[in-house]
Structure 1
Amino acid sequence: MNRTFVRVMIYVVRFAGAVAAVWGVAYAINGATQAEGSITVQVSPGPGVVDSLRLTGVELPPGVGFRGADLSLQVWKSTVIEQVVARADVLVSGLCAGVAALLLGPLLASVLDGEPFRRGNPARVAWLAVLVVVSGSAGALPGLASAAVLGRVGLTGTFVVTPALSWLPFVGAAFLSALAVAIGAGRHASPVPGR
């Protein structure tokens, strides 16, 4: 293993984590400054709204219009909470990436030193699994904002929020949890004391 490459990767991971955390916070703060402006809501037609692949009987209130070719609404007069929650997935994911970078640094360093079963590594990997679940679950937050926007403009029955959750982060978290258990078992089986 090229030790210089691993050391460089440790610094790259830390830098990328810091950038992701700062970007997530900045993106959410920028959203707060967009209050009273427009907010885009990804939606699907509600029951009985679609007839022969056309929207029928849909009257949009003032300040609401279709945006682009996809079925999304552009709604004006947004609130600070709507804007922040709509971007909260990026905020949470960025913060999770920042914490993950702090966890990965010592983990990669222990591998570089030839001690993958070092004390604390099982906990680090387990926390990485938690961060993956939290980041993956954050994908539901824009949907909450979209539901609030639809309720505010009285279109809750006409449109439903398009779900944005994926099962992939939860599968990844399961693999990381199994890895944490394996590292913990390997550490206890290690013949080197105190490792």
Structure 2
Amino acid sequence: MNRSFVSSILHLVRFAGAALAIWGIAYVINGATQAGAYVTIRVATAPDAGPSPLSGVRLPDGVVLRGELPLGVWGATVAEQVLSRADVLLGGLCAGLAALLLSSTMKGRPLTRRDTAGLVALAIVTSLGSLLPIVAAATVLDRAGLTQDFVPSTTLSWVPIAGAGLLLALALAFHAGARTDPRSSALTP
């Protein structure tokens, strides 16, 4: 592989990992400073909510509100704000850690089973992190007395799994390139 290309990709991965980690932390800190204000959660209508759980909205007969919608609820606690944004925090921190793992692999160090296990663990942690906004939504709905009309949205994000797959493919490509490049100073047996 061309060393300047590898160096450019290495710098891009490091920058992206650092930027995502900083963004995740800043996003949650921003949410924590908004305690007492609105918290936005994703909800769906409860199966037994009736024709329209939204106050002041009259839907025609035969029309039912279905699917997800964002709901802003006033008076959020710090915990609700943090939980509603915790998926971004975990995703950013995991992206930063993955960038550190990949940067050493892209320098020619062989991809070990430990590195692969680390990438898989980061993907699992990020995927499980997408459950935290569901917990936040359940907490907010209970506090606001809206559990009769709404349920937390249970849609999980596919982004963490796709991102982990892309990172693993990138690591394997650089590992294979380092093994086959006769100019590489870090050939592996």
TM-score band by shorter chain is 0.7 to 0.9
For normalisation by structure 2, the TM-score amounts to: 0.75
Which residue, 91, 94, 97 being the options, matches 1:93?
Answer: 91
Q: CA 1:16–1:173 in structure 2 vs 1: closer, same or farther (change >3 Å)?
A: closer
The residue type paired with residue 15 of structure 1 is F
What percentage of residue pairs aligned between the two structures are identical?
46
Aligned to 1:63: none
The ranges of structure 1 where at least 4 consecutive aligned residues each deviate by more than 3 angstroms after the TM superposition are 166-176
Aligned to 1:48: 48
Gaps of 5+ in 1: 61-69, 188-193
For normalisation by structure 1, the TM-score amounts to: 0.73
Aligned to 1:150: 141
The answer to whether the 8 Å contact 2:40/2:84 transfers is no
Which residue, 114, 120, 135 being the options, matches 1:129?
Answer: 120
Q: CA 1:167–1:41 in structure 2 vs 1: closer, same or farther (change >3 Å)?
A: closer
Aligned to 2:17: 17
Aligned to 2:27: 27
* Corresponding residue pairs, total: 164
Residues of 2 paired with 1:153 and 1:143: CA distance? 15
Q: CA 1:98–1:85 in structure 2 vs 1: closer, same or farther (change >3 Å)?
A: same
SS in structure 1 at match of 2:129: helix
Residues of 2 paired with 1:72 and 1:167: CA distance? 19
Which residue, 73, 76, 83 being the options, matches 1:75?
Answer: 73
SS in structure 1 at match of 2:43: strand
Residues of 2 paired with 1:12 and 1:43: CA distance? 36
SS in structure 2 at match of 1:71: strand
Deviation at 1:169, TM superposition (A): 4.6
Q: CA 1:127–1:164 in structure 2 vs 1: closer, same or farther (change >3 Å)?
A: same
Deviation at 1:11, TM superposition (A): 1.4
Residues of 1 paired with 2:136 and 2:116: CA distance? 32
Q: CA RMSD in A?
A: 3.0
